C-alpha cells in the first residue's frame, strides 16, 4: 500500500474516533441543559435533539421483550414512573363498581383488578393507544380476555368478555372497541374485570380511573416503588403511605411469634387484621403486619 493512502486511513480513523468520543461526551451535557431555563437553549439543533428524545414512547423504554403468553411477569420496576393519562378512554360507560382492588384475607387472595357492572354485549373500549399483547380464554379464570400494552407504559386487562374484537399484535387506538362485555370464565353475573399493570405488576386501577365520574384521576399518575397509594375521591388527590405488608402463617406459628418475626407488636397485628386474643390463625393465612 502507498504510504500516502496509509497515512490518510490512520488520520481518518483518528478523526472519526475523536469525533464520536466528543459526541458521546457531549450527550450528558445536553441532558443537563434540560434543568436550565428555556432562554439558555437558543440553538435550533439542540431543541430538535431534545424534542426527538421525547419522541421515544415510554413503553419502548420500559419493556425489552414482547410475549403473547403471560399477563403478569417478574421485572425490576423503576423507583418511580410517571404515566401520562391524557388521551384516555373509559373502558366502559358503565359506572357501577361491584368489587374493588385489593387483598381479600377471607379468600386468601388478591383481587387484581376492579369489577364494573356491564350488560352482556356492552362495548368495551381500549383505554389508551397501544398494541394488543394477549387475546386468550381461561375457562376457570378470566374467560375471554385481552391484554393491551399501551404507549404510555402501562398494560390493561379486560376480562370475562362475551366476544373479542381484536387479535394479538394488533395496534389499537384509545377508544377503539376491543370486545363485548360478558360473563365468561369464573364470574357470577356479567361484569368487566379491569386491571392496570406496570412492568408485570398490578396497580390499583382506581389510582388512574374513576369509573363513577368517568374520568381519570389527573393528567398524570406517578407510581412510586414501596409506597402504598390510595385515591381519595373527596379531595381528588392520591394519598401515600407505607406499603401494606403481609406475612404468610407457617405451621406452629402464633401471633406473638409472627409479631416478633416482623418486628411489630401483637396489638398492631390485632388492629391491622381486626383480630383479638381469641382469634385462631391457620397455616397459609395472610397476616398484615404493616
Ligand atoms: Zn374482578
Over the stretch 174-228, which tens digit does the pLDDT of each residue have?
A: 999 999 999 999 999 999 999 999 999 999 999 999 999 999 999 999 999 989 8
- In this structure, what DSSP letter does residue 206 have? G
Confidence of residue 54 (pLDDT cuts 50, 70, 90): low
Cα 91 to ligand 1 centre (Å): 14
Every domain range in the chain assigned CATH 3.10.350.10: 246-288
| Mean pLDDT calculated for residue range 77-91 | 96
Instruction: Quickly list H helices, 148-265.
Output: 255-262
Cα 154 to ligand 1 centre (Å): 18
Cα 103 to ligand 1 centre (Å): 12
Q: For 30-34, 268-272, 273-277, which range has the lowest pLDDT when averaged over its residues?
A: 30-34
CB within 8 Å of 145: residues ≥ 6 apart: 134, 135, 136, 137, 138, 157, 158, 159, 160, 161, 185
Cα 195 to ligand 1 centre (Å): 8
CA distance 99 to 205: 12
**Class of 246-288 in CATH:** alpha beta
- CATH fold label, 82-218: Glucose Permease (Domain IIA) (2.70.70)
Average pLDDT, the chain: 85
Q: Confirm whether pTM is higher than 0.85.
A: no
| Mean pLDDT calculated for residue range 265-286 | 92
Cα 253 to ligand 1 centre (Å): 32
Distances (CA, A) of 39 to 45, 48, 146: 14, 15, 47
| Mean pLDDT calculated for residue range 7-23 | 41
Supply angle C-alpha 209, 82, 35, rounded to 5: 145
pLDDT at 266: 95
Distances (CA, A) of 108 to 23, 101, 143, 207, 285: 56, 14, 21, 23, 6
pLDDT at 61: 87
Cα 268 to ligand 1 centre (Å): 30
CA distance 186 to 28: 52
List pLDDT tens digits, range 134-163. 999 999 999 999 999 999 999 999 999 999
Question: Within 13 Å and on the Cβ side, how many CA atoms surround 41?
Answer: 18
Distance of CA 129 to the CA centre of its chain: 15
Residues less than 5 Å from ion ligand 1, measured at CB: 113, 115, 193
Cα 25 to ligand 1 centre (Å): 51
pLDDT at 256: 94
pLDDT for 25 beyond 80: no
Every domain range in the chain assigned CATH 2.70.70.10: 82-218
Cα 170 to ligand 1 centre (Å): 25
Confidence of residue 72 (pLDDT cuts 50, 70, 90): very high
Cα 158 to ligand 1 centre (Å): 10
Cα 201 to ligand 1 centre (Å): 16
Cα 138 to ligand 1 centre (Å): 14
Q: Is 67 exposed, middle or buried (0-12, 13-18, 19+ CB in 10 A)?
A: exposed
- What is the SS3 assignment for 162? coil
Amino acid at each position: 500500500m502507498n504510504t500516502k493512502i496509509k497515512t490518510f486511513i490512520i488520520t481518518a480513523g483518528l478523526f472519526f474516533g475523536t469525533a464520536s468520543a466528543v459526541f458521546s461526551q457531549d450527550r450528558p451535557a445536553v441532558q443537563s441543559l434540560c434543568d436550565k431555563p428555556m432562554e439558555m437553549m437558543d440553538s435550533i439543533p439542540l431543541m430538535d435533539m431534545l424534542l426527538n428524545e421525547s419522541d421515544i414512547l415510554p413503553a419502548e423504554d420500559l419493556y425489552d421483550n414482547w410475549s403473547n403468553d403471560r399477563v403478569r411477569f417478574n421485572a425490576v420496576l423503576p423507583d418511580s414512573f410517571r404515566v401520562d393519562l391524557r388521551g384516555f378512554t373509559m373502558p366502559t360507560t358503565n359506572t357501577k363498581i361491584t368489587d374493588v382492588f385489593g387483598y381479600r384475607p377471607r379468600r386468601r387472595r388478591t383481587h387484581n383488578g376492579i369489577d364494573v357492572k356491564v350488560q352482556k354485549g356492552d362495548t368495551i373500549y381500549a383505554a389508551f393507544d397501544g398494541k394488543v399483547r394477549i387475546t386468550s380464554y381461561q375457562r376457570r379464570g378470566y374467560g375471554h380476555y385481552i391484554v393491551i400494552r399501551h404507549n404510555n407504559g402501562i398494560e390493561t386487562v379486560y376480562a370475562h368478555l362475551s366476544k373479542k374484537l381484536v387479535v394479538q399484535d394488533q395496534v389499537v387506538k384509545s377508544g377503539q372497541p376491543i370486545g363485548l362485555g360478558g360473563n365468561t370464565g369464573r364470574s357470577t353475573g356479567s361484569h368487566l374485570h379491569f386491571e392496570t399493570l406496570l412492568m408485570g405488576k398490578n396497580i390499583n386501577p382506581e389510582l388512574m380511573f374513576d369509573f363513577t365520574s368517568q374520568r381519570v384521576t389527573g393528567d398524570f399518575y406517578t407510581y412510586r416503588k414501596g409506597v402504598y397509594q390510595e385515591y381519595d375521591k373527596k379531595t381528588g388527590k392520591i394519598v401515600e403511605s407505607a406499603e401494606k405488608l403481609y406475612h404468610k402463617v407457617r405451621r406452629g406459628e402464633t401471633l406473638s411469634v409472627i409479631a416478633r418475626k416482623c418486628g411489630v407488636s401483637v396489638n398492631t397485628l390485632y388492629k391491622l387484621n381486626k383480630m383479638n386474643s381469641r382469634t385462631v390463625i391457620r397455616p397459609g393465612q395472610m397476616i398484615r403486619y404493616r
